[in-house]
Amino acid sequence: MNPEIGRVYSRKRGGKAEVVRVVSVTDTWVTFNYLHGPNRALRIGTGQCKTKNFFKADWTQTEEREDYQKLPVPELGTFPFSPV
């Protein structure tokens, strides 16, 4: 499965949402523009990921929105022990 040019994808990373639009896809690389995310990512503006690793990095297709502040948050996992 390959990402599609022009589609919007999102993921949660470090407790923050990142939203990107894919601008090019080759056999080796996916290039994308950041639409929402940490300030560092927005300053950089573009990013790259190996095509084979794009979906392994938890990118999922999402709807394009005016505001990405209210993206659904995945459920947090439970710990196998209870803190005392």
* 8 Å CB contact between 42 and 34: yes
Name residue 47's amino acid. Answer: G
Query: What are the domain boundaries of the chain?
Result: 8-61
d(CA 31, CA 50): 9
> For the chain, which ranges sit under pLDDT 50?
75-84
**How far is it, in rounded angstroms, from Cα 44 to Cα 38?**
10
Q: Output the pLDDT for position 64.
A: 84
What integer pLDDT is reported at residue 25 of this predicted model?
A: 95
User: What order of strands is seen across the sheet that includes strand 60-61?
Assistant: 46-50, 29-36, 16-25, 8-13, 60-61
- For residue 42, the tally of other CB atoms under 10 A from its CB is 13
